[in-house]
Amino acid sequence: MGILDESEAAYIQNKFQEDRRKSVNSLGKKLMKNYEGYNKELQRVENLYNFDRSFNEYHIIAGVDEVGRGPLAGPIVSAAVILDLRVCSKEMILDINDSKKLNEHKREILSKIIISKALAYSISFCSNEDIDKKGIGFCNNEVFKKAIASLKIKPNLVLSDGYTIKEFSLPNKAVIKGDSKSASIAAASIVAKVYRDNLMKKYHELYPEYDFISNVGYGTKKHIEAIEKYGATPIHRKSFLNNIIGEKHL
């Protein structure tokens, strides 16, 4: 339910419609459109929270997600988040979603809100050196485990995006496309994405030729051309470059 109940909203809408001034009518329509949009978003986010609440046999639920599995450079980053699922509708964090569906500005705002409202959160990563030595699959699993282990509150259940965590002692449920279904995983997705993107912006200052500020390490045309021209940097994943560029650039 929104800030107003349906009868209150209908009453206000009627008052605007009764007013003969076009400016007032126009304002009324705009307000009601915003109100309807708010209610729609509130319902969407409540569905995310309710997904997590459906595991009601567990008292403390953490969501975990990773960012940076596919880039040619930089670390793979994971975040784990424990939200307060007992909040009322008006206290939920609106706009949380799969981080890829949000623009950069919205992600930055939401990450700060999530961090401030979460019961606990943590961030973990495996470097490009770790990825080259141990493989991306191992590191993906490892950052999940490290992020959960770093939480100041121990969860009773871990919801992980896409993958069941291997060699893991806590109850764990994998959720396919979890960042679009679970409030906790969506929150983790946003925190991890913002952390990694900001890290890649810092790397851009060190290696501006590779355009990390735009590609955040992914294999864009400009990025690959820079590798071919200047060679690989210390943050490149050499094991990812073998099939893209010649050995002379590694």
Cβ–Cβ < 8 Å for 182, 46: no
Q: Where are the beta strands (DSSP E) in the chain?
A: 61-67, 76-82, 120-126, 157-161, 172-175
Alpha helix positions (H), 54-166: 104-117, 128-134, 136-149
Strand partners for 73: 236
Cite the annotated binding site for a divalent metal cation by residue number: 65-66, 161
Whole-angstrom distance, CA of residue 245 vs CA of residue 229: 11
* Residue owning tokens 């708010």: 38
Cite the annotated binding site by residue number: 65-66, 161
Dihedral class, residue 216 (left if φ above 0, else alpha if ψ from -120 to 50, else beta)? left
Residue 107 burial by Cβ neighbours in a 10 Å radius (0-12, 13-18, 19+): buried
Going by DSSP bridges, is the β-strand pair 61-67/172-175 parallel, antiparallel, or unpaired? unpaired
Neighbours of 232 (CB within 10 A): 19
Whole-angstrom distance, CA of residue 4 vs CA of residue 93: 18
